[in-house]
Amino acid sequence: MTPYPNLISESLLINDTIDLLRSFGGSATAVNIVDAVMKISQPEPKMARLLVSDLVERDPRLHLNDDVVELLDDRFSSRAISETEFVVFDLETTGAKSPPLSRVTEIGAYKVKGGEIVGEFVTLVDPGMPIPVFITALTGITDEMVKVAPKFSEVIPEFLDFIGDAVLVAHNAHFDMQYLNHEIGLVYEDYRLLNPCLCTVHLCRKLLPHVDNHKLKTIADYYSVSLVNHHRAGPDARATAEIFVNLLTQLEVGGIHDIAAIKNLGSRKGVYVG
């Protein structure tokens, strides 16, 4: 059973099943999947259905209809921007190195819908390792502060509920998503987020090519967005959320009204991290 409806499995069998379904146009019989993916030749249909039902239960992208496994349509791309819930988030970590060499120390997230900020989630996180001196100097987060903070495993259930089926947004999304999915994988083995993530760095490059650089502070100044306590997850996520609201307005004025159009806008430069 999927731990949360917005988590998908990293299982090789499930990923091979999804690849097969895509090659078959979105559906295939249980017998075909067991034969091609599990390498069990000419399985008995009832056994095949039992085997694939386990895969289906572990991944929300799959649906079993009698003896046919169906790949559900992308639930995000068809959404209108005006009807989509976004969660703009930022992470602070123990360093710039990729996980597991560094761990999360703080999560900040703001929910955006209808062009307004409608929800907040901010917490320190005990990384289970010392925070280097230069990171403390940058962020102000100390070992003493995180010593009494919850561990990621204690925070993630509430955070996954907060995210729900929103489209995620982050400034330099690849960095934040690799940390988030790594930490999730430590709690829920072989799982990662289903939610796609928009990158505001790349959106700014597309929409604001005339700005000297696309650092968070520079874009905040451009939109007259307040950014205090820079390099803390809460303030950075709040500023990114306000910036994103401005970017959404520009997208709509430019004739981009749904998530699919944003995805196409960023097809060459990684605006959309699926």
Active-site residue, selected from the candidate residues 202, 230, 231, 257: 231
Sign of CA dihedral 29, 190, 234, 196: negative
Classify 140 in phi/psi space as left (phi over 0), alpha (psi -120 to 50) or beta: left
What distance in Å separates the CA atoms of residue 167 and residue 259, rounded to the nearest whole number?
A: 9
What distance in Å separates the CA atoms of residue 266 and residue 262, rounded to the nearest whole number?
A: 6
Q: Which two tokens stand for residue 200?
A: 């505001």
Q: Which two tokens stand for residue 214?
A: 């696309």
Q: For residue 221, give the amino acid letter.
A: D
Q: Give the three-class secondary structure for 159.
A: helix
Q: Give the three-class secondary structure for 44.
A: coil
Let me know: does 40 contact 218? Beta carbons within 8 Å. Answer: no
DSSP per-residue codes, 199-263: EHHHHHHHH-TTSS---HHHHHHHTT----STTSHHHHHHHHHHHHHHHHHHHHHTT--BHHHHH
End-to-end CA distance of the chain: 23
171 is catalytic: no
Catalytic residues: 231
